[in-house]
Amino acid sequence: MFLSAFMLMIPVVYEKYDKFVRLARALKEVRIGFILTGMGATLSLLIASVILLHFPALIVLQIPPDLL
């Protein structure tokens, strides 16, 4: 979510306030956008797989309410 906001806000800030000139110019490159999108997708899949694999262990390790 932060990567998407970053990729959307940098050109807006550049156009409106004339800040982040080099960063906005770099984001216009197709390969930079491709790399950042790939990193974001990889990170999202990694987080989803970690949650998916550890969720059953979290259910098993829960303490029953009558023991509290």
Domain residue spans in the chain? 2-54
pTM for this model (two decimals): 0.62
Residues across the chain: 68
Q: What share of the chain is helix, strand, coil (3-state, %, to 5)?
A: 85, 0, 15
pLDDT, tens only, 11-52 = 899 889 989 889 888 888 899 889 988 999 999 999 999 888
